A and B are shown apart, each in its own frame.
Chain A
Amino acid sequence: MSEAAHPIDPDEPILRRIPIVPGYFDPAKAPPVQAGAFRPNPDELDGISFFRERELSVSELVAGTKRAAGSFAVARLTARDLLDLGLTL
Chain B
Amino acid sequence: MSFGPDQLTSYLIIGAILFSLGLFTVLTRRNAISVLMGVELILNSANINYVAFSHFGSGNSDGQIYAIFVIMLAAAEAAVGLAIVLAIFQLFHTIDVEAAETLRE
Query: Do A and B truly interact?
Result: no
Chain A residues engaging chain B, CB cutoff 8 angstroms: none
